[in-house]
Structure 1
Amino acid sequence: MIAWTHYEVGSHRLSCPACGRNDRDKTLGLTIEQDGGGVAHCFRCDLSESFRPERGARLTTPAQPRVKAATAQRYEALSDFGDALWRECKKLSGVGAAYLQARKCVVPPADGDLRFHPSLKHPEGYVGPALVALITDAVTRRPLSLHRTWICADGTKADVEPSRMLLGGHRKQGGVIRLWPDDAVTIGLGIAEGIETALSLAWAHKPVWACIDAGNLTAFPRLTGIQSLVIGADNDAAGIGAAQACAQRWVDSDCEVLVTRQAQNDLNDALREAA
């Protein structure tokens, strides 16, 4: 399973051939000895393999299949843990603001539901700066969950997988990220799936909210008082279908709706390509 003869004497970190997610997911430790032999072990799935030049490789511990445990939803509202984490976050500044600016996004107002954490721990052990967004029920405004994105100041995601995560066990259905607060929403609103897509739409239309994913955008409810809705649609089957379904429901209730179109996958891709 491992190309033993491709590595020099010493220690190496590799992506596990059994459970590795991509080339950056280096959970396999490999050591090559002076005589050409070696040992390897994955700390995630416990794959163990040894190698001797005279007899080749031998799998000493079969890899355990990676089964992602289904996380049962436990919280209908934001947990105490989530609330404490949200309170730790700061207004957008430093690396948080620099990341958005490097991505050609509008930096949202300080009273919106997007904040910055300078040193947030990832489940894989990485600690670094992250954007943290509060997810609230689109109608009742009840806090539901948090959305976290580990970032770098140059506009790239941190070298950790996955770089974006929701809180486990929390409800996100029916939720939105209010990038602009309710009191900024009068008769018009812009929505998109992702945070960066919504903040790209904000160059042309404010205020904007993010719906998190295509499912939530599809089901985005008709809100009283809003007469005009702009949808920043992703250019894939799920994104187009979600935008069309949402638009049709709002049009049927006598609302003016505009759906964006671009050749790229989303508005942020289009902005960065143009820049």
Structure 2
Amino acid sequence: MIAWNDYQAGEHRIECPSCGRGGRDKTAGLTIEPDGKGVLHCFRCAYVESHQPERGAVRRLATIKPTQKSHTQKLDSLCEWGRAFWRSCHPLSGVALHYLRARHCVIPPADGHLRWHPSVKHRSGYVGPALVALITDVLTGEPLSLHRTWITPTGKADLDTPRLPLWNHTTKGGCIRLWPDEAVTYGLGIAEGIETALSLAWAYAPVWATIDAGHLSQVPVLPGIETLVIAQDQDPAGMSAASICARRWAEADKEVLVTRQAANDLNDVLMEVAA
């Protein structure tokens, strides 16, 4: 729970007390009325906390019950529009390179699945440059979806959700191959996020990004790979996912190495050292 008395009346963006990943991770919206009443809502994990001065904080998890079942079935492979858009994206250059260098990331090879586009529309209506990553099935390599990160030369764009996959596309069993299959021989490094994976690449490559903790926990044992390096996020979801994945690979008699750092992830470490 948060310290409500630390905030004045008004609108605030803060780190979520449930899924927060560091001081720069402001996914929670906080509204405090002049009489001291307030509500906090995380746009990522749906955590909700309300406050009434006479009763103190009330913590609860938001639940959304649709009035009717959705009949929309997610596509199990990348649609033709998505394939055409991916082909229209550019090799890393310009603002994309500035962004990755500002985040102190290793620049992945040109034949990996990370590109950029100078003009991508966000669901909020904002239009601007974005990193575009191809999400493929971790086993078959089949294109599943696209992952967009809206960026500026120095950081993510100022949006509530600067990272989004394509709507109505499955990402189950997917990953982002930052290095191509041909570069993956004896070992592989994995991380949840693109920037974290490209931070791990300073010490170990090739690397792939798994999109989130849920996908990381499900990475299957891949044929021919004898060593797996996991860049673990130091939050409950990240540590649990890394443990589940590591156990699966270890039980298959593979060498498994898992990072541990004071900050939430390896890119946070690099950013703090640089600062």
Gaps of 5+ in 1: 1-13, 16-20, 24-64
Deviations 1:48-88 (A, max 9, x none): xxxxxxxxxxxxxxxxx9x8996944310001121121111
Find the counterpart in structure 2 of residue 26 from structure 1. none
1:159, distance to aligned residue in structure 2 (A): 1.6
Find the structure with the greater CA-based Rg: 1
Find the counterpart in structure 2 of residue 191 from structure 1. 190
Find the counterpart in structure 2 of residue 217 from structure 1. 216
TM-score by length of 1: 0.74
- How many matched pairs? 215
How large is the Cα RMSD of the aligned pairs? 2.2
Sequence identity (%)? 60
Q: Is 1:248 equivalent to 2:247 in the alignment? A: yes
1:168, distance to aligned residue in structure 2 (A): 1.0
1:246 partner SS = helix
Find the counterpart in structure 1 of residue 119 from structure 2. 119
- Equivalent runs, 1:46-195 vs 2, <5 Å: 72-154=72-154, 156-195=155-194
Q: Is 1:206 equivalent to 2:202 in the alignment? A: no
Structure 1 residues 95, 249: CA separation in 2 closer, same or farther (over 3 Å shift)? same
1:161, distance to aligned residue in structure 2 (A): 2.3
Q: What one-letter code is carried by the residue in structure 1 that aligns with 2:250?
A: V
Structure 1 residues 71, 112: CA separation in 2 closer, same or farther (over 3 Å shift)? farther
Find the counterpart in structure 2 of residue 227 from structure 1. 226
1:82 partner SS = helix
Gaps of 5+ in 2: 1-10, 13-27, 31-63
Write the distance in 2 (CA, Å) between the matches of 1:70 and 1:256.
43
1:190 partner SS = strand
Deviations 1:79-102 (A, max 9, x none): 112112111110000000110000
Q: What one-letter code is carried by the residue in structure 1 that aligns with 2:236?
A: A
Deviations 1:223-245 (A, max 9, x none): 00000000000000110010011
TM-score by length of 2: 0.74
2:249 partner SS = helix
Write the distance in 1 (CA, Å) between the matches of 2:137 and 2:160.
28
Runs of 4+ with deviation above 2 angstroms: 67-74
Structure 1 residues 163, 71: CA separation in 2 closer, same or farther (over 3 Å shift)? farther
